[in-house]
Structure 1
Amino acid sequence: MKAILFDLDGTLLNRDASVKVFVEKQYERLQDVVGHISKQRYIERFIELDQRGYVWKDKVYAQIVQEFAITKMTAEQLLEDYLHEFKYSCVAFPNLLKMLESLKNAHYRLGIITNGYGQFQMDNIKALQIEHYFDIILVSEWEGMKKPDERIFLKALNQLQVAPCESVFVGDHPENDVRAAKQVGMKGIWKKDAGWEEVLADVVIEDLLELVPVLENFEKVSH
């Protein structure tokens, strides 16, 4: 194994926790705009509409403005606030830096392939202070293609100059991450996520640090 590639949201970035922190801060920051709604209701509704990141925020805010009769800010202005402020609420999964340190010390080539908006995702990666660990970072908006499209995986492997069989992909989404990576010939590791039950992965991990012994195991098997 020469290269380890990661998804971002739900894999390195604890998106659920980050969203909670963000919405709470947004409510407090915009008290004069949303103060007529109870804090708990605002947070709950945002999280419901967001559907764990699979609904883009323009739709979320349009719905919130309408439902809660918000008049002092438009949905567009609330979206702007989200785009600008989210990076200050980023929560990493436990042991993120420890794991990246171990992989770097073991001389693996590292990459990220994430779906999403370019600048927004880069801001979040920088907020986690992990950008310097990675040899390549591919964000779907900038690449003009997104997971599970196999071309984005092949582009990453090409840039890292490794074959699919020498590479591992770690992600939380059964289709976009695990299955898509396996289809191009990579090993697919599932970072366990409460949203899914059965996932056909080569290995399942719950904590990022579990990745280190898993990779050592792959090495032993291939020898």
Structure 2
Amino acid sequence: MIKAALFDLDGTLLNRDQSVKRFIDSQYERLNKQVGHIPKEKYMKRFIELDKRGYVWKDKVYQQLVVEFNIVNISWEDLLQDYISEFKNNCVPFTNLTEMLEELKRKNILLGMITNGYGQFQMDNIRALGIEDYFDVILVSDWEGIKKPDPQIFKRALKKLNVSPHQSLFVGDHPENDVKAAQNVGMKGIWKKDFQWNNVEADFIVDDLMEIAIIIENLNKQIIESC
């Protein structure tokens, strides 16, 4: 029986692409006196390019922006601090996020989250989405000292939930760090579709988060019928 569902955050529960666009638009308007000499579209486009969908931390991004755009009225450190303090105010959830979590809780499925990133920053975003209380376990790589795809972070989460790998599934948008890494420890790996990859090998592929509840229901039904 599937007793636990674990999730990645960015690109899986949090629509990071849309959140970044909202944030950088609001930062440009908020700090217009300092960065207004740059066309907004150019500023947003370059930030998104340098950010590489979150895989480059923003100290490097802002250092590069300051040089490229000759930003002199505000330091890269202050721009970074603005990102840290304000990003949470621009978080966009994927469709049916809360509805999916409610449904899984109704079915008594344990919920976990494993996310790479900085501890407080990620927790701020989780709280901004209003989903912290749904989860029985939340592991952030910064605080754990290990990160996906290291199998130990998956095993740690499963131990805290007191479930075995074959009783669990993991949902994420990254084919290696999420799907393959979860499968490597014996969990079912579900890929949350992302335009960046094609032909991803996963146990299941979903477009909408509500599909997770259906997958669990069908898996458990199959197990019951085979007994």
> What TM-score does the superposition give when structure 2 sets the normalisation length?
0.97
- Say which SS state the counterpart of residue 138 (structure 1) adopts: strand
Match of 1:109 in 2: 110
**Structure 1 segment 154-193 matched on structure 2, within 5 A:** 154-193=155-194
- Say which SS state the counterpart of residue 208 (structure 1) adopts: coil
Match of 2:141 in 1: 140
**C-alpha deviation, 1:76, in angstroms:** 1.0
The residue type paired with residue 166 of structure 1 is Q
The residue type paired with residue 193 of structure 2 is K
Match of 2:125 in 1: 124
Match of 1:90 in 2: 91
In structure 2, how many angstroms separate the alpha carbons of the residues matched to 1:221 and 1:192?
25
In structure 2, how many angstroms separate the alpha carbons of the residues matched to 1:147 and 1:72?
38
- Unaligned runs of 5+ residues in structure 2 are none
In structure 2, how many angstroms separate the alpha carbons of the residues matched to 1:73 and 1:222?
60
Q: How many residues align?
A: 223
Match of 1:9 in 2: 10
Higher mean alpha-carbon deviation, 177-186 vs 205-214, is at 205-214
**C-alpha deviation, 1:222, in angstroms:** 1.9
Matched, 1:41 2:42: yes
Match of 1:69 in 2: 70
The residue type paired with residue 88 of structure 2 is K
- Say which SS state the counterpart of residue 113 (structure 2) adopts: strand
Match of 1:78 in 2: 79
Matched, 1:54 2:55: yes
In structure 2, how many angstroms separate the alpha carbons of the residues matched to 1:127 and 1:114?
15
**C-alpha deviation, 1:212, in angstroms:** 1.2
Match of 1:196 in 2: 197
- Unaligned runs of 5+ residues in structure 1 are none
In structure 1, how many angstroms separate the alpha carbons of the residues matched to 2:146 and 2:174?
17
The Cα offsets for residues 84-123 of structure 1, whole Å up to 9 and x where unpaired, read as 0000000000000000000000000001000000000000
> What TM-score does the superposition give when structure 1 sets the normalisation length?
0.99
**C-alpha deviation, 1:217, in angstroms:** 1.2
**C-alpha deviation, 1:198, in angstroms:** 1.3
**C-alpha deviation, 1:221, in angstroms:** 2.1
- Say which SS state the counterpart of residue 210 (structure 2) adopts: helix
RMSD, aligned CA: 0.5
